[in-house]
């Protein structure tokens, strides 16, 4: 399992977490390259099907990260994201996708350090969890 490099799909909002990732870069902080960032305008636009698709295509984990409560650029998009996360955490574990593979965090625009730490911790956790089994199953 030592050579297992997880793939993590991260949906990050333009206004907070993407900016934090940008800050992490410009601050020359390092974090593992396992994460594929997908910039969205708001976590409120992340339809459950994006997350489901990521898992079915073999993502080992999915991160959704946006603004702290009260800070959403669109006032309440992150609250909608939180409800959808609640929904998916009720569905996906039943079909063999460990709840630990799906994470929601709030990382503000000035939190570059926090962003790098979150990714480091997540990669370490998913490495111990092992690969998403759906990756090799004949599932489409």
Q: How large is the angle between the packed helices 112-129 and 17-26, nearest 10 degrees?
A: 100
Q: Which is nearer to another protein, 41 or 139 (CB)?
A: 139
Q: Residue 92: how many CB atoms within 10 A of its CB?
A: 19
* Residues between 71 and 110 that touch another protein (CB under 8 A): 76, 79-80, 82-92, 94-97, 103-107
Residues 12-71 that bind another protein (CB under 8 A): 48-49, 52-53, 55-56, 69-70
Mapped to the 3 state alphabet, what secondary structure does 57-116 carry? CCCCEEEEEECCCCCCCCCCHHHHHHHHHHHHHHHHHHHCCCHHHEEEEECCCCCHHHHH
Question: Shortest approach of another protein to residue 99 CB, angstroms?
Answer: 9
The residues that touch another protein, with contacts defined as CB under 8 A, are 48-49, 52-53, 55-56, 69-70, 76, 79-80, 82-92, 94-97, 103-107, 111, 114, 117-118, 133-134, 136-140
């Amino acid at each position: 399992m030592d050579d297992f490099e997880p793939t993590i799909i991260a949906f990050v909002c333009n206004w907070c977490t993407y900016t934090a990732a940008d800050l992490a870069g410009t601050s020359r902080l390092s974090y593992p390259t396992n994460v594929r960032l997908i910039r969205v305008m708001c976590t409120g636009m992340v339809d459950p099907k994006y997350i489901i698709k990521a898992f079915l295509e073999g993502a080992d984990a999915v991160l959704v990260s946006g603004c702290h409560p009260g800070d959403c650029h669109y006032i309440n998009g992150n609250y909608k994201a939180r409800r959808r996360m609640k929904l998916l955490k009720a569905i996906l574990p039943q079909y063999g996708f460990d709840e630990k593979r799906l994470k929601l965090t709030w990382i503000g625009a000035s939190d570059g350090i926090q962003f790098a730490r979150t990714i480091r911790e997540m990669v370490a956790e998913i490495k111990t969890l092992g690969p998403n089994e759906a990756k090799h199953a004949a599932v489409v």
